[in-house]
Amino acid sequence: MGYSGSQSVAVAAIAAMITPALLILGSASLVASALMRMARVVDRARILAATAHEGTLDTMGVTTDQLRSWLESHARRARFTERSIAILYGAIVVFISTCLSIALDRAMGDSLSWLPVLLAVVGTILLLAGGAYMVAETRLSGEQINAEIRHALARLENGRP
């Protein structure tokens, strides 16, 4: 039950095409995480915006300047997250292209072996950039929650709920 030469070449091509799937899976996982973070930013920004529109700053115990600062922080976080999502989706497209370029390279008699390597490197760079934007967003998130906690603790110390 031996394999003929063409079958083993086909198996090798399929195996090579599956390898970028791990990178696609990693990219998709990061996209899912970024989308969850974006949902949190949107939900919180909507609450703050509603507070501004309804004029109920007193109920939150914040000044107009504090609310403006928090909304601006959410806007920055949303931009970082949006960029990350776009870049990570780009990485997925590039990794899918890597799979297809492996098949194309095999069909062309291994004359395009540079193409899958180049695409894999580009995809990995996009993965790195998307991750970097998520790190930046996470830092902003940490700074923002710390500011909100400090504000709440200061209100408690002053005897205001």
Count of domains for the chain: 1
> Of how many residues is the chain composed?
161
Q: Is residue 99 predicted with pLDDT exceeding 80?
A: yes
Segment 30-54, tens digit of pLDDT:
999 999 999 999 999 998 888 888 8
- Dmax of the chain from CA atoms? 83
Give 143's pLDDT tier (boundaries 50, 70, 90).
very high
Q: In which domain, by residue range, is 144 found?
A: 5-157
Q: What is the pTM of this model?
A: 0.81
User: In this model, does residue 8 exceed pLDDT 80?
Assistant: no
State the burial class of residue 58 (Cβ atoms within 10 Å of its Cβ: 0-12, 13-18, 19+).
Answer: exposed
